[in-house]
Chain A
Amino acid sequence: MCGIAGIIHTDGPGDVGTEMTKMLQSMKHRGPDSAGYALYGEPSELVVMRFKLADPNETSDFDYNERLERNRREVESRLSKIGATVDRVEGESAYAYRATFRYEGELKPLADYVEDIPGCEVLSLGHSLEIVKDLGDAQTVADQYRLDSFRGTHAIGHVRMATESDVDIAGAHPYWAYPFSDVAVVHNGQLTNYHQWRRRLERNGHRFQSECDSEIIAVYLAERLADGTSLETAMKQSLDDLDGVFTYLVVTEDSLGMAKDAMAAKPLVLHEGENLVALASEESAIRAVLPQEIDSYDPYESEVLVWSR
């Protein structure tokens, strides 16, 4: 089933951390397995990288802590080797970290070099994007990663009911559009031509971290954006290229978009306010941040909409 939500403030930053937690928590019944956030803070000169070195359901063997510490230091040293000036690396939980560094070069070699460390996965990379995802409901994840104080302009989130792959962080949404800076995707549905697209994209040099079908949407869009296609055009092309049932949300540094398949098989409710656009699988999620009576509607089949902050 899964639940997705998105919010964008068009009049400057808001408490998107708290707002997204409320929206996702009200849809807990749609997916209790894991919760994930893609949050956009104030753009910074530094690159923000969220990464993990182990999975929460991995058994911790005798040198678990030592190995994580060793690998964390290895990430720092590899960042320096590739030419980044590391600002700081903070532990967000026992196995997830947030690194900030100054870096001007290509992101793909950097991500590949860091992910070469055993157990390491780069969750997000960019100047304002931060992806946080973990097992449990939205409130549990928000408390664990202290998201209540996060201020920003827009965010998307996802509560997952695993149907196509394992319950772990790699299978949790949102997906970062590797190796494209500041782009992330959440998806509700199933893609039936996943393997075709995965083979095509892998031949073009893209890496996949999970067995989850939704990951191809992020990588597909990243490839189109890298070719110079606009976000809206890339999303319209995806309606023909992707097969299956889907409603997905995509965020970039300054915009938020939604796309719905030709059968309109997955729900989405949309509210366009004066200074705020909120959309979610259920209206009750929008009501969690806008309790008053609001005007809202369901976008139609094959519809692509994009808003900018």
Chain B
Amino acid sequence: MVAMNPPTEQDTRGVRNDIRGLAEPDAEAPKVARIEGGTATFDAADLSPRLVNLELRRLVYGEGVREIRVENPGAKHSIAVGLLARCRITINGSLGYFGATLGDGPEIHITGRVGWSVAENMMSGVVVIDKNAGSLTGAAMRGGDLVVRGHVGARTGIDQKGGTIIIGGNAGSMTGFMMQRGRQIICGDVGPGMGDSMYDGAIYVGGTVAALGVDCVEEELTPDDEELLDRKLGIYRMDRPDTFRKFVCGKQLYNYDNLEPSERKLVL
């Protein structure tokens, strides 16, 4: 057991920091939610991100509530992170950076916009954003569906390892940079450097592509692809562009079987 450092004095804004600078290590859930028939609602306006997350955990794990509504999120960072249970959360407003990240199971609906790195490292579940998103949307995502109805910034699905990212609007530069598996469906236009250094997976684009990145090539759509596009866009009731183009890895940079000179000596 690591001994917990004693919390230092409260600073002028009433925020507690421990000796490592971590905020509120001994905070407890504020217990402000109103629970009615399996549905809980609470106002996040006066709560810190940590208190919002503690309240969500208390409701999901402690009270077993499966439907939660959060009012006035006020573009706070790191809200609804690390939830590892099936539940349905509606966030009525916008989030800052790292919203709905590290989740495994929850269905999260955000009615406003989100900042950078939404749903980063999501394992499974659904995240739906009604407006725009910042850069690094769905970074290192491993599973589940991430839906942005508006536009997204740069590097969407960087290092993506699974799941599906669906964008209703346009995407910025370096979309799908180093993606390793999974799918991206982008209904609008995509910026330069798309699919740069991707290992595997597929990017479907309804609009124009400014420029392809290194080792990203176009491929014919199969009937399976068409079925996937129809199904995914149908689930989230999104307008389907008439035609889609499919982009995959050209595999010209694959050097996995080539041993380093020192390793070759060992094998021989």
Contacts and interface: CB of A to CB of B under 8 A. Distances in A.
Contacts of A291: 74
A282 B74 contact: no
Interface string A269-287: 1000000000000111011
Interface in B66-80: 74-77
B93 A263 contact: no
Nearest to A266: B135
B154 interface: yes
A130 to B, nearest CB: 27
Interface residues of B, number: 26
Interface stretch (A164-172, A176-184, A233-241, A295-303): A295-303
A163 B131 CA distance: 34
A296 B75 CA distance: 11
A240 B174 CA distance: 19
A296 B172 contact: no
A263 B174 contact: yes
A264 B173 contact: yes
Contact of A283 (B96, B155, B172, B173): B96
B220 to A, nearest CB: 30
A8 B116 CA distance: 24
A282 B154 contact: no
Nearest to A139: B12
A294 B112 CA distance: 8
Given A264-B172, A267-B116, A287-B74, A282 B96 contact: yes
A30 to B, nearest CB: 11
18 contacts: A263-B174, A264-B135, A264-B153, A267-B135, A282-B97, A282-B115, A283-B75, A283-B94, A283-B115, A287-B74, A291-B74, A293-B94, A295-B113, A298-B153, A298-B172, A300-B173, A300-B191, A301-B154
Given A264-B154, A264-B173, A293-B112, 20 more contacts: A264-B153, A264-B155, A264-B172, A267-B115, A267-B116, A267-B134, A269-B115, A283-B94, A283-B96, A283-B113, A284-B75, A284-B96, A286-B75, A287-B75, A295-B131, A297-B132, A298-B135, A300-B153, A301-B154, A301-B192
Interface of B: 74-77, 93-94, 96-97, 112-113, 115-116, 131-132, 134-135, 150-151, 153-155, 172-174, 191-192
